[in-house]
Amino acid sequence: MMRAVSNLTKPYQIRTLVSLNAVMVDGTGMCGGCRVTVNGKMKFACVDGPEFEGHEVDFDEMLLRNRSYTDMEKISMDRFSEPHVCRKEGMAS
C-alpha cells in the first residue's frame, strides 16, 4: 500500500512519508532484521525510522528481505496456535 501511494504521489512531487513495519527483533539495529535501503544508504527501521520518505525507499529489496523470514514466521505461528501444556507438574523440586 505504501509503495502504491509513493508511486502515485511521485509524479506530483508530493512528499510522502511511509511507516515501515520491517522485522524488528532487538530494537537497537544490532540484529539487522529491520535493514532497509533508503536513498541508496542502509538504514535501520528500528533506530532511524520507522518513518522514511517513500520515494527514497527501495521497496523491492525490503519486500524480498521480509519474505526471507516467511518459513520462520510460519513455524512460530504454528507453535503459538498449539494448546499450552504445563510441564511443571510432576517435576522434581
Q: What is the pLDDT of residue 24?
A: 72
Q: What is the pLDDT of residue 91?
A: 60
Q: What is the pLDDT of residue 92?
A: 58
Q: What is the pLDDT of residue 6?
A: 98
**Can you give the residue ranges of every domain in the chain?**
2-80
pLDDT-derived band at 17 (thresholds 50, 70, 90) equals very high
For residues 75 and 78, what is the distance between their CA atoms, to the nearest angstrom?
Answer: 5
Dump pLDDT digits (tens) for 21-74. Answer: 877 778 788 888 889 999 999 999 999 999 999 999 999 999 898 888 789 889
Q: Which residues sit opposite 18 in a β-bridge?
A: 52
Return left, alpha or beta for 12; rule: phi > 0 is left, psi -120 to 50 is alpha, else beta. alpha
Element (H, E) at 18: strand 17-19
pLDDT-derived band at 4 (thresholds 50, 70, 90) equals very high
